[in-house]
Chains A and B, each alone.
Chain A
Amino acid sequence: MGWRGIGHIATLLALLSCAGVAFAEDDCAASSDDCVAVGRWNLSVALGAGIRTNPVVHAQDIPLIFVPQFSYYGKRFFIDNLDPGVTLFEGETNTLSLVASPGYDRVFFYRSDLQNIFVGGTTAVAASGATTFVRNNQNPQAFQQIPERSRKITYLAGPEWTFRYARVTGQVDYLHEITGRNHGDEIRAALGIPLGQLAGSWSANVGVTWKSAGIVNYYYGAPGIYEAGWALNPFAKLGYSRPLSGKWKLDAFVHCERLGNAISDSPIVRGHYVTTAFVGATYVIHK
């Protein structure tokens, strides 16, 4: 990601945070799972055993052992792990924000990507760097090498609408890549559904990510060998949480994402699914 792109993000967020925005009265009067104090940092660490399967050829599955999470909320500005944003409107049931978020697919290719530490989005695996060969279309007896290439850090930005209906939380983001690497677009949509209490809290999340051809090709294309189109990745997740003593709580989840055909058809991808599972204890360091 170039410095110009970072500058654009920072300037946009700074201007918007200073702009007059509408804030309706909200129902937050104390710290809770849904409410946070303005001007405070929130930091927690999850320690446990987990794994994320890897659909990229020659790549290894990613273990999930230590997962930090942090956030900061100003009156309008916020940062949620690697996502900075500014809230334009906040009411009891609807919130509209402008957010920036890193392109998640890079974690397939670089273990050093920060999203392999601050695990938040979809797939998070790392390629081993081994060479991939595919059959030559003109001569099926022969193989041709897919050249190694770099995938730079990208950031996407755009509006995010979060809504609540009864106890269900919904989220829709429309994001455009603003770091000039692929000019692609993503739409992220999901619902969070509490399932009830049985020796702890159970919840289900369902959603989908639409990635434009520009994004899919940037990560999974092979120039001259494979030209991808757009992809639609649905996912489902089952989660469990139970408070323990003090600042500890027990967390567990299973998350399964189906890769869109444009991704799974790529010669550097094997399989159609990415599964993530984790069980561990979360400690709230600061809230």
Chain B
Amino acid sequence: MTRIQRTGQFVARLLALLGLWTAPLAYSAMGPSDENIRLEISPRICTLTGRDKQCETPVHAQWRSSHEESLCLVIVTRPNVKRCWEHYAKGTYTIQLTFAEDVTFQLRDVSLEHVLASEVLRVIREAILYRHRRRQPWNIFD
């Protein structure tokens, strides 16, 4: 092997070592890691009977992460709802909601561009069977 070849191999190895060393730094500079972020909401289901038109309930959202994060909790289709945390490993948020369709909660980065976690509060409608009422023209009060 010539001197140039040995020098080239040395430089390649050095660059590889530098890449391995800087990768975690670069990765952390990209923002919160979404793999370890857990989002939970309660309740997770709202049941509507035949007489109910919508759900009205306080909803409790709770998130936690293995690292400190900076992120925001938002509700899809509710642009006025946003709760942010900076350098926290967990957070809670409670909001009184009125809704008739599924509600999606999302944890996003502070720029709101990336979704880190998502949970859906589902609406289940009771299936109601209907039939004809007995008509009784003979009945004085019918």
Kindly list chain A residues whose C-beta atoms are within 8 Å of the C-beta of B135: 34, 162, 164, 169, 171, 192
B129/A189 in contact, CB under 8 A? no
A148 located at the interface, meaning its Cβ lies under 8 Å from any Cβ of chain B in the complex: no
In whole Å, how far is A61's beta carbon from the nearest beta carbon of chain B?
15
Count of A interface residues, CB-CB < 8 Å: 48
A188/B138 in contact, CB under 8 A? yes
CA distance A149 to B132 in the complex (A): 42
Give the contact stretch, choosing among A7-15, A66-74, A137-145, A259-267. A66-74
Kindly list chain A residues whose C-beta atoms are within 8 Å of the C-beta of B139: 120-121
B129/A37 in contact, CB under 8 A? yes
Nearest A residue to B130, CB-CB: A28
Q: Which of B132, B140, B142 is A95 in contact with, Cβ under 8 Å?
A: B132
Contact with B along A195-207 (1 / 0, CB 8 A): 0000000000101
Mostly helix, strand, loop or mixed at chain A's interface? strand
* Chain B positions 97-142 with a Cβ under 8 Å from a chain A Cβ: 128-142
CA distance A276 to B135 in the complex (A): 20
CA distance A162 to B139 in the complex (A): 13
Kindly list chain A residues whose C-beta atoms are within 8 Å of the C-beta of B128: 37-38
A22 located at the interface, meaning its Cβ lies under 8 Å from any Cβ of chain B in the complex: no
CA distance A276 to B139 in the complex (A): 12
B24 located at the interface, meaning its Cβ lies under 8 Å from any Cβ of chain A in the complex: no
Kindly list chain A residues whose C-beta atoms are within 8 Å of the C-beta of B138: 121, 171, 173, 188-190, 205, 207, 209
Q: List 21 A-B contacts (CB under 8 A).
A: A28-B131, A29-B130, A31-B130, A33-B133, A34-B133, A37-B130, A38-B128, A38-B130, A67-B141, A69-B141, A73-B134, A75-B131, A121-B140, A162-B135, A162-B136, A170-B137, A190-B137, A192-B137, A205-B137, A209-B138, A237-B140
